[in-house]
Amino acid sequence: MRRPALKKLVLCIAAAMVASGSDRAIPVLIAQAVQNTPSAHHDWPIYGGAPENTHYSDLAQINRENVKQLQVAWSFDTGESGGLQTSPIIVAGVLYAYSPSQKVIALNAATGTLLWKFDPAVHGWQPARGLAYWTDGKEKRVLAGVMNSVYALDVDTGMPIPTLGEHGRIDLRKDLGRDPDTQSIALTSPGVVYKDLLIVGGREPETLPAPPGDVRAYNVRTGKLAWSFHTIPHPGELGYDTWPKDAWKYSGSANNWTGMAIDTKRGILYVPTGSAAFDFYGGNRLGDDLFANCLIALNAETGERIWHFQGVRHDLWDRDFPSPPTLITVQRDGKDVDAVAQTTKQGFVYVFNRSSGQTLFPIEYRKYPPSIVPGEVAAAEQPLPTKPAPYARQRLTEDLLTNRTPEAHRWAVEQFRKFRSEGQFVPLSVGKDTVVFPGFDGGAEWGGSAVDPATGILYVNANEMAWTGALAENTGSESSGRGIYQSQCSVCHRDNMTGSPPQFPALTGIANRMGPKEIAATITEGKGRMPAFINLTQDQLFAIIEYVMTGESKELQSSAAGPPELKYRFTGYKKFLDPEGYPAIAPPWGTLNAINLNTGEYAWKIPLGEYPELAAQGLKNTGSENYGGPIVTAGGLLFIGASDFDRKFRAFDKSTGELLWETTLPFSGNATPATYEVDGRQYVVIAAGGGKDPKQGSGGIYVAFALPRAATPITSAGQKH
C-alpha cells in the first residue's frame, strides 16, 4: 500500500477510536507508525547526492546490524564493453545513467527494467561520470553531456527537447572566443543546476593547442549562454598580470573537468580547476597562472568572483584539484561554521569558510627549488595546510621501497638510485626522472569525498603510488610526423610508444592490432582518457598515423605546420612498478581515510583493496589503486567500490573503519555508488565496468543491492539503528 493511502486509512482508524473513547495511546502509536512509514521514493537526484556534494544519505534501513544480509536486488547489463565511471541519479523511482558508449538509459530503479535509451549516434568514448536533472515543478529534464554536446532529454521518453540550443543540443566548442571547429572539449562530469541555469566545465587536452577553461552557465530552457568566467583572464580582469601578455589568446585548459558544488541558499558556486596546458613545461605561461589550480567561489547567478584560493602556483606537475569540493558545517570555538573542503592529488585537505574564503586550518607557504630547465621559472613558494596531516606519503625514500621479494627490492633500489626524489613541488628536469609521489593520479581523484554531517568527518579514498617523469628537448621538426607525435602523443604514450599500461596503452605494434581508419577515428574522436584531437589537419593526421604504424616520419609543407612549438616536451608518464607489474614501493598502495574536520585529526585510516593473487600468497590488505568515491549513510555505513584489481564492493562501519560486508562485482566498480528508496525498500547501486586491469577486461553492468524482502524493516529516512 502506498503511503498516502496508508496514511488516510490509519488516520480514519485513529479518529474512529478516539470518537469511541478507546485507548488514546493507540492513536499516538499509530501516528508514530505513519511517521515511520517510508515515503514512496527517497531520491539520489544529483551527482554527489546533493548540491553540496556530500555523498550522504539519511536512509538507515540498511544498517550496521543487517548489512551482512545484502543481496543482489537486480542488475542491468548494457551489453557494452569499455568500462563505466558513472554514478547514476535516481528521481521518482527512475534511475538515469550511461552505457560505456555514452548512450543514456533510464531504468526502473526497483527492478532494473529498461524504460528507454537515448542513442546520440556519436562516435568516440569518453568517461561519463553522471547526469544532471532540472525541474520547475512542471517541466522535467535530464541534462546529459555526450562528448562536446549537452542534451536536454524528456524524462518519460528519452527524446531530446528540440527547443534547447541548436536542434536540441548545446555545442560546448562554441562561446569560447576561438574557432569552434578546432576546439576539443568533452563534458565528462555533469554540470550543476542552479535555478534555471546549467553550469558546466569540461575536459580538455593536456597539450597545446587546448581551449580556454571557461566556466559557463546556460539557460536550461533555451540553451543560451548566460555568463562565462574566464579562468585565463582577459585584459582588465583580475589575474591578467599573472600570465604573459595575450596568454588568453593562445594558452589553454585551467579547466573544471571534475565537477562542482553549490550552496543553493547563498547562491555560491564552488569551482575547482586544473592545470594550464602544457602541463609540465610552462615557458610560454610564466607567472602564477591564476585561475589555474584554484578553488573559486562564484556568484552562481552572475559568474562574478567572490573569493579564490590557488593551491599550486605555476603548476608543472599536473596537480589539478581532482574532485568536486564538499560543503560541510564544522565546529570552531563552540560555533557552527559553514565550510567547504577540497581534497587534492598531493594528499592535502584544504578547509575554508564558505562565505569568506578564510582558511579554517593554517596554511604555510614553503619555499621550493627553482627549475634548472632553460626558459622555465618555477614558483618560489607553494601553499601547504598544517592540518589535517596528508592522507598520502609525501616523499619516497629508499626505506619505503618494496620488500615483496628480495629480487623486487634489489631491482627497486637499483632503479630508485637513478631518480631524483625530493618530495613535493620539485620541478622536472631534462634527461633525469623525477619521482612524483603521490603520483599523477593522486592522492585523491575524481571520485571525491563524502561527509557525515552529524560528526563532521570527511571520508576520502586515495592512491599511494609513485610515478616518474622527465623533460626532453624538442629536436625534431614540428612539421613532421615524429614532431607532431612528440608534441601531442608522447605525453601519454611516451617517446618510445611503450606507454604506461593500462592507463596509457602502448602503441608499439599497433599496426598489428588496428588499421589506419580505426587509428584515425581514435585520434579525431577520442577514447577513454584520450581527448579528441580535432585541431589536426588531414595531412598532420596522416603523418601521425604513418609514424605510429611504420616509424617513418613524413615532412609536411610549411602551410601544414604542427601545433604550437614548445622548447621542451614531457617524455611520458611512468608508473614505478617492479618487473612483475606490482608497485615498487612498500604498501599501502591505496587507502581509505576518515578525517574529523572539527579537529583536523584522523578518526581512522585503513588500506583499501588488494591484489587477489598476492592475497592468496598471504600478502593481504596491501591496498590498491582506486577510482570512484565513497558514500556514507545514517545507517552507520560507508559504501565504496573503487579498488582496481579485486572487483570488490564493500561496506565499512563509518565510525571505526571495520569491514562489515563485501561482495565481488562482475567487473571493478570504478565509480561512486548511490543509494535510494523505492516503495519502502532501500537500494545501493554501483556501476561495474572495470577496464583498468587488462586481466579482467571491461564491461558495463549496473548492480543494485537490497535486504531480502522478508528482512526489510519499516523505517523512516534518518531513523537511527
Residue range 534-559, pLDDT digits in tens: 667 766 776 777 677 677 777 776 54
CA distance 447 to 12: 48
Amino acid, single-letter form, for residue 90? I
Shared-domain flag, residues 677 and 624: yes
Shared-domain flag, residues 495 and 642: no
Distances from the Cα of 322 to the Cα of 295, 424, 612, angstroms? 11, 17, 28
pLDDT of residue 564: 54
Q: What length is written for the chain?
A: 721
pLDDT of residue 718: 41
pLDDT of residue 588: 98
Shared-domain flag, residues 537 and 493: yes
CATH number, domain of 719, equals 2.40.128.630
Q: Is residue 406 part of a domain?
A: no
Question: Grid coordinates representing 153?
Answer: 532529454
Shared-domain flag, residues 693 and 596: yes
The residues that bridge with 98 in the sheet, in sequence order, are 104
CA distance 537 to 557: 12
Neighbouring residues of 130: CB distance < 8 A, sequence distance ≥ 6 = 47, 86, 87, 88, 89, 189, 190, 259
Shared-domain flag, residues 479 and 460: no
Among candidate residues 657, 659, 664, 658, the one with its CA nearest the CA of residue 643: 664
* Each residue's pLDDT tens digit, 579-630: 999 999 999 999 999 999 999 999 999 999 999 999 999 999 999 999 999 9
What is the pTM for the complete model shown? 0.88
pLDDT of residue 493: 84
More confident residue, 486 or 213: 213
Shared-domain flag, residues 711 and 632: yes
Q: Is 5 a residue whose pLDDT tops 50?
A: no
pLDDT band at 533; cut points 50, 70, 90: confident
* Each residue's pLDDT tens digit, 389-446: 999 999 999 999 999 999 999 999 999 999 999 999 999 999 999 999 999 999 999 9
pLDDT band at 34; cut points 50, 70, 90: very low
Shared-domain flag, residues 557 and 646: no
pLDDT of residue 126: 85
Shared-domain flag, residues 607 and 491: no
Q: Is residue 538 part of a domain?
A: yes
Quick check: helix, strand or coil at residue 524? helix
674 torsion bin: left (phi>0), alpha (psi -120 to 50), beta (else): beta
DSSP label of 577: B
The residues that bridge with 288 in the sheet, in sequence order, are none
Q: Is residue 130 part of a domain?
A: no
Average of pLDDT values for 161-189? Answer: 94
Distances from the Cα of 371 to the Cα of 100, 374, 421, 450, 535, angstroms? 42, 8, 15, 37, 31
Q: Is 212 a residue whose pLDDT tops 90?
A: yes
Q: Is 24 a residue whose pLDDT tops 80?
A: no
Q: Is 162 a residue whose pLDDT tops 50?
A: yes
Tell the burial category of 358 from Cβ atoms under 10 Å away from its Cβ (0-12, 13-18, 19+): exposed
Largest CA distance in the chain: 99
Boundary (domain end) residue, out of 565, 599, 615:
565
Shared-domain flag, residues 611 and 653: yes
Supply the DSSP string of 152-179, one letter for each residue.
EEETTT--B-TTSBBTTEEETTSSSSS-
CA distance 616 to 618: 5
pLDDT band at 30; cut points 50, 70, 90: very low
CA distance 641 to 1: 34
What is the strand order of the sheet 89-91 is part of?
Answer: 89-91, 94-98, 104-108, 114-118
C-beta of residue 601 within 8 angstroms of C-beta of residue 646: no
More confident residue, 475 or 317: 317
Q: Is 2 a residue whose pLDDT tops 80?
A: no
Q: Is 23 a residue whose pLDDT tops 50?
A: no
Shared-domain flag, residues 511 and 532: yes
Q: Is residue 446 part of a domain?
A: yes
Neighbouring residues of 77: CB distance < 8 A, sequence distance ≥ 6 = 699, 700, 701
Boundary (domain end) residue, out of 565, 595, 627:
565
Alpha helices, H only, 20-155: 25-35
pLDDT of residue 557: 65
Q: Is residue 290 part of a domain?
A: no
* Each residue's pLDDT tens digit, 192-205: 999 999 999 999 99
C-beta of residue 315 within 8 angstroms of C-beta of residue 279: yes
Average of pLDDT values for 513-520? Answer: 75
Question: Grid coordinates representing 69?
Answer: 544480509
CATH number, domain of 492, equals 1.10.760.10
pLDDT band at 124; cut points 50, 70, 90: low
Q: Is residue 424 part of a domain?
A: no
* Each residue's pLDDT tens digit, 483-494: 777 767 777 787
CA distance 294 to 320: 8
Boundary (domain end) residue, out of 565, 599, 632:
565
Amino acid, single-letter form, for residue 18? V
Shared-domain flag, residues 494 and 606: no
Q: Is residue 390 part of a domain?
A: no
- Strand duo 56-57 + 631-633: pairing: parallel
State the average pLDDT for the chain.
Answer: 89
Query: Cis peptide leading into 291, omega within 30 of 0?
Result: yes
* Each residue's pLDDT tens digit, 676-716: 999 999 999 999 999 888 788 899 999 999 999 987 775 54
C-beta of residue 118 within 8 angstroms of C-beta of residue 159: yes
pLDDT band at 27; cut points 50, 70, 90: very low
Structural domains in the chain (count): 3
Shared-domain flag, residues 501 and 545: yes
pLDDT band at 160; cut points 50, 70, 90: very high
More confident residue, 254 or 550: 254
pLDDT band at 132; cut points 50, 70, 90: very high
Q: Is residue 659 part of a domain?
A: yes
* Each residue's pLDDT tens digit, 354-375: 999 999 999 999 999 999 999 9
Domain that holds residue 604: 47-85+439-465+587-721
Q: Is 189 a residue whose pLDDT tops 60?
A: yes
